[in-house]
Structure 1
């Protein structure tokens, strides 16, 4: 996702971040290779530089760092949490890189976010693993003439989790953006889903939670039940042989103020009402016995 455009969010939350498809194999990057520059300031022209270090030969673990183009002497670099294998590949997105195989696979993705009218931050996600993929999320900002970590939202690394982050407009027409972290833990007893929103406090120079102007989410609900066991059984029976309800969660309704409390719902969560409606139509076409409704969360 470049600074002038944003990629559309996936319609089903479980298909997070997507498959990484290398476009071409690049030569093994030399130590200090600059991967990409991102705008840091509208007024000074400063840029964030994402580069590799420690990549001298095959078998090395490359570290990725973010530095400021006009920082004094390259001070205050920020090191990303996960290292990557020697010989990074450019992924399908121009802001994403991958390396390693199976358990050693690591993908690093960068999303610029406009924290103030004239200043940008970088949302960075690193995901790795094979059967259970897990993710580190970071926000980097300009501080004291260099780059500093302002926020992190790592997963718990406790099992089948999924999360993603992204920028969103705080108010219509404003250039200033907030960012969100959307998270699901697929336990089935019940599942857990949470959406946290954040913004940059320019006066305090820190990240704070955003409670009023949050990104919209819509629940495509195909059943409400008094017990979690009934909800799980209903979802499983709706599957048929075509996995009709793949991607649907079983969630407790009480944490969501717009839902009737004390129930367990079978649902998939979407960023737009039309994608939630499309999900209901798809389930109904797969299993005509299943119907439902859309509710804003």
Structure 2
């Protein structure tokens, strides 16, 4: 991964004092005005300081409401050169102090944007906090949050998706997995996909039940018990961890799957990605085969 030090834009890694209230990046807030979301780091002038991260509006006046992100970042923030030009990712700190902040724009209305922000922190067990920030009363407000439980091995991510073909308005999703399946527990993993849209009248995010993002399951085995499914996944690994990305899930929550079973599966946003996952698992271990099912 290629990392760029932002020099004068972000506090550097040296102990030299830096100006306070540094601007990290601007994001479009409205197409009706020239308003921009401004992400700033402040309060970290030297090594050992912790930066506060705040969002404000570019055309806001003194006293305009700002939104503070949950986690601060250590002095020496670095911008990572990855992702879309309209997005941004920054990281700082070592081991337990490591924090990565990622920002994704989402088009909440035809002429208005919000920002999805994810902060990852931790060393051995990484935890994630997700936020949606939106415009309100001439300022910036936190409109939604979807933190992990911080109770064990978890994974989650958020992102925008089109609510309908050709529509400029986007929804956003939170995809979550709790990795609990092992021979000792005998319990399946947990997986959930929640979708949301923006209620312009109420100025809030609401659950989207009809137009949800598509997901496809690459299934390499179906079993009557979770223990059987876990044993099969473990046996399929070989030394190359051929099925390491596959979950053990109960079929009951999925309307398109046969209830009462436990499947060994990898879940993907595109059908061709699920097909590729099957192909890769089979190339790794010739005994592994399966099929793809839309969820």
Pairing 1:63-212 to 2, within 5 Å after superposition: 63-93=52-82, 95-188=88-181, 189-212=187-210
8 A Cα contact 1:68 1:74, kept in partner: no
Q: Deviations over 1:101-154 (max 9, x none)?
A: 011100000000000000000000000111110101000000010000000000
- CA distance in 1 between counterparts of 2:249 and 2:138 reads 45
- CA distance in 1 between counterparts of 2:100 and 2:124 reads 15
8 A Cα contact 1:74 1:146, kept in partner: no
Count of matched residue pairs: 278
- CA distance in 1 between counterparts of 2:2 and 2:69 reads 22
Give the secondary-structure state (helix, strand or coil) at the position aligned to 2:277.
helix
- CA distance in 2 between counterparts of 1:293 and 1:53 reads 51
- CA distance in 2 between counterparts of 1:207 and 1:74 reads 26
Paired position in structure 1 for 2:50: 61
- CA distance in 2 between counterparts of 1:286 and 1:98 reads 34
- Which structure would you say has the larger RCO, counting Cα contacts within 8 Å and 6 or more residues apart? 1
Moved over 2 A (4+): 20-30
Paired position in structure 2 for 1:22: 3
- CA distance in 2 between counterparts of 1:256 and 1:197 reads 15
Paired position in structure 2 for 1:7: none
8 A Cα contact 1:67 1:74, kept in partner: no
RMSD after superposition? 1.2
Paired position in structure 1 for 2:15: none
- CA distance in 2 between counterparts of 1:285 and 1:87 reads 43
What TM-score do the two structures reach when normalised by structure 1? 0.91
- Structure 2 residues without counterparts, runs of 5 or longer: 13-17, 182-186
What TM-score do the two structures reach when normalised by structure 2? 0.92
